[in-house]
Structure 1
Amino acid sequence: MTDPSSLPSPRPPAPGSEPAVQASAAPTATTVEDFRRNLAAVRARIDAAAHAADRNPAEIRLLPVSKTVPEERLRAAHAAGITQMGENKVQEAKRKATNLADLGIHWALIGHLQTNKAKDVAAFADEFQALDSLRLAEALDRRLQAAGRGLDVYVQVNSSGEASKFGLEPDAVADFLAALPVYSSLRVRGLMTLAAHTDDAERVRECFRIMRTLRDAGLQAGTVGDGQLSMGMSGDFELAIAGGSTCVRVGQAIFGARPTPDSLYWPTNGA
């Protein structure tokens, strides 16, 4: 894998060419062909964004976000080639992992986690992208050690400064990363963020600039694994790719609009 620190600095898009920062839901996919069509459209967007930023599209991982999608549709998605799925809620992810165990799906938990759910995550998840406290790190490590497993983790950062978002404040990231090696079952892969929820593209780009700076500092200190950057969702992943993302988390552009509001799956901080 290419060292993310060696990637060229992204060039700004030409005036008038930058994508809108907005919801980007595809028609609801139910059949294998539906999923193939939506996947092809998303991958074409990823390729175009990567080329515009002088990057190799192969360096950008697509993580389809399957929250709220029923299991029968996920079987069709798998048949269309989706082998990794991201979920926000532990209970939903655990149920799907159990009922779809025959498919061998790679499950990524990308939502906020309470310490009392660490046992569930340690039992089924392949990666966890929302690590934001040492108390949670300790709980996960203890459960993973008991299960004889390791877990890929991303440290979540509140790059937007919005009170509604979970994640570490940027100035706390370096010390937090430095404290993680004691939890030997956690394999730190990089950093994750949700950018500001706004139509202001410059504000979104600033969130991604903050993340790249933090990642580069972590690589220099040797505390951030191979320096992956999980950032960008259906409405802003082109901007995230221009900002250096190596993993985009895309749901509605693949599966279609959700029947429930995002607020159910991205609770306010402290809720």
Structure 2
Amino acid sequence: MTNDIYGPFPGSAAFLAALTERQRARYEELGTNLEVVERRIADACAAAGRPRSEVSMVVVTKTYPAEDTALLAALGVTEVAENRDQDAAPKAETCVNLPLTWHFVGQLQTNKARSVVRYADLVHSVDRPRLAESLGAAVLKAERVPLGCLVQVALDKEAGEGEHRAGVAPADVPALADLIADTPGLQLAGVMTVAPLQGPLAGDPARAFGRLAEIASAVRATHPAATMVSAGMSGDLEQAVAAGATHVRVGTAVLGVRSPLG
């Protein structure tokens, strides 16, 4: 692929002309999938009595190449997510001229903070004070704009389950939210969760996301600007929208079933 497709004007005539036959087929496939997901989100918003504009689609591009990211940008996608810095950093560098907002959604080690702040606009997976402090220090050193951070909530832990899962127990959310808000270089953006695998809310995304909505409301009572509620993926985005999610993280439904990571 030529570098032309990574330019600042994805979707232009020059961009489309640069595509090979294989890339054009993938472009059309992704476009079809995006239309299906867009319809699902629009229908879910209508069913919940919410304006479509209240919900953002974040396409999770993990395990897929940078060229797919470029094709998504050409199709109008503006928000993408990655979960491993070793994959995200080079991909973001390749796509640096594309008009994209980058979300980091995976479990993050503190020693990766300096790398992540070079490209991420938002980190959804802040789950401990030390990580918040490391991200804040890295932002200040990089002299960049404040980094949006979400508290990752592990709903399993409310029932004493999921000890080893990423995220903080609901009872610990207020303290971590306060710390993020008070950390120079960081901006508290909201809360994030994934449907729990254990506990009474396991297998019931509607109730799980409803519980997250309660937690999000409590955070906003203290931090009114923390309006993001990141919840829902390809299989449960409707329940997330019904519960008030502002961002749904969709991967498989757009890009296809992923190969196992090596």
CA contact (8 A) 2:230 2:248 kept: yes
- The amino acid that maps onto 2:205 is V
Partner residue of 2:218?
Answer: 217
Partner residue of 2:110?
Answer: 115
Partner residue of 2:94?
Answer: 99
Partner residue of 1:206?
Answer: 207
Partner residue of 2:85?
Answer: 90
Of the candidates 149, 152, 157, which is equivalent to residue 153 of structure 2? 157
Partner residue of 1:50?
Answer: 45
Instruction: Using the TM superposition, give the Cα deviation of residue 202 of structure 1 relative to its aligned residue in structure 2, in angstroms.
Output: 6.4
SS state at 1:130 partner: strand
Deviating beyond 4 angstroms after TM superposition, the runs of 4 or more aligned structure 1 residues are none
Deviations 1:86-117 (A, max 9, x none): 00001100010111222232211100100000
- The amino acid that maps onto 1:141 is G
Instruction: Using the TM superposition, give the Cα deviation of residue 210 of structure 1 relative to its aligned residue in structure 2, in angstroms.
Output: 1.6
Measured in 2, the distance between the counterparts of 1:168 and 1:226 equals: 17
- The amino acid that maps onto 1:76 is L
Partner residue of 1:172?
Answer: 172
SS state at 1:166 partner: coil
Partner residue of 1:19?
Answer: none
Corresponding residue pairs, total: 232
Partner residue of 1:238?
Answer: 238
Of the candidates 74, 77, 82, which is equivalent to residue 72 of structure 2? 77
Partner residue of 2:9?
Answer: none
CA contact (8 A) 1:30 1:76 kept: no
- The amino acid that maps onto 1:245 is A
Measured in 2, the distance between the counterparts of 1:180 and 1:94 equals: 23
- RMSD across aligned positions (CA): 1.9
CA contact (8 A) 1:152 1:187 kept: yes
Instruction: Using the TM superposition, give the Cα deviation of residue 197 of structure 1 relative to its aligned residue in structure 2, in angstroms.
Output: 4.3
Q: TM-score, normalised by structure 2?
A: 0.83
Measured in 1, the distance between the counterparts of 2:51 and 2:212 equals: 20
Give the unaligned 5+ runs of structure 1: 1-28, 265-271
Give the unaligned 5+ runs of structure 2: 1-23
Measured in 1, the distance between the counterparts of 2:120 and 2:91 equals: 11
Q: Quick one: higher RCO (CA 8 Å, sep 6+), 1 or 2?
A: 1
Q: TM-score, normalised by structure 1?
A: 0.80
Deviations 1:17-49 (A, max 9, x none): xxxxxxxxxxxx952222221111101000111
Residue 145 (1) aligns with residue 140 (2): yes
Instruction: Using the TM superposition, give the Cα deviation of residue 213 of structure 1 relative to its aligned residue in structure 2, in angstroms.
Output: 0.8
